[in-house]
Structure 1
Amino acid sequence: MGIELELHSERPAWTEWDVWDASRATLLQGSYGHGEALAQVLALGRKGPGRLCSVAPFGDTLFDAGEAGAVLLEVPGLLPLCVNESQTVAVRDLARLLAACATTPGSYLWLMGD
């Protein structure tokens, strides 16, 4: 199971029949190559406090620009949990997109589980 990341300029469109196509209009950037490594690290961090511990590898989570700044503060706690370079890269990519979201008013970071 993996967790992919997408930064959107506004809340992504949700439709029952085709979430993927409906959300393309607001997509700013995405991260699709580190999903499994990110899910592994977040699973290790579930015991800790904060919002990242509630991210499920099988569901979707949205953070708005205000939440992203607070969640970004949790990322340094994930880095010591990384056991390989893939996981470290995944956590750094999460930090990059959280920072971009936090500095882009009205934006959302969508964490998409399998």
Structure 2
Amino acid sequence: MMYCKKKNSNKMNTALVAILILTCYLQMYQAQTRRARCYRKHVCGVNGKTYRNECVASRRGIIVACKRRCPCKPNCNCVRSYRPVCGWNGQTYGSRCLAFCERVGVRCPWPCPCFTTWN
């Protein structure tokens, strides 16, 4: 019976050593990814301010909106058809979708200028 107990304890010791090695590896990996994240280039926070890197933003409690300088532009997948619209900023955009991608509202559904009165 002693032989069986000794054999089971060896298996348990091997499992504990394997868990210890795996835990150390995961901690080193996490530290490396955290360090790499800190040296990235500028990021834009959800508050609209540019931060030097992701770590600076997270230390200040800011969620990263995009990994570039502000402002963040949405990834737009607009159909490439030409239906010009006039934006509220007075510029003509190729379509309503392209205007919204630039975060500009549409003033009228034709090229600028928009006429407000019909004579």
Q: Which TM-score tier does this pair reach, normalised by the shorter chain? A: under 0.3
TM norm structure 2: 0.18
Structure with the larger RCO, 1 or 2 (CA within 8 Å, 6+ apart): 1
Which has the larger strand fraction?
1
Work out which of the two has the higher radius of gyration on C-alpha atoms and give 1 or 2. 2
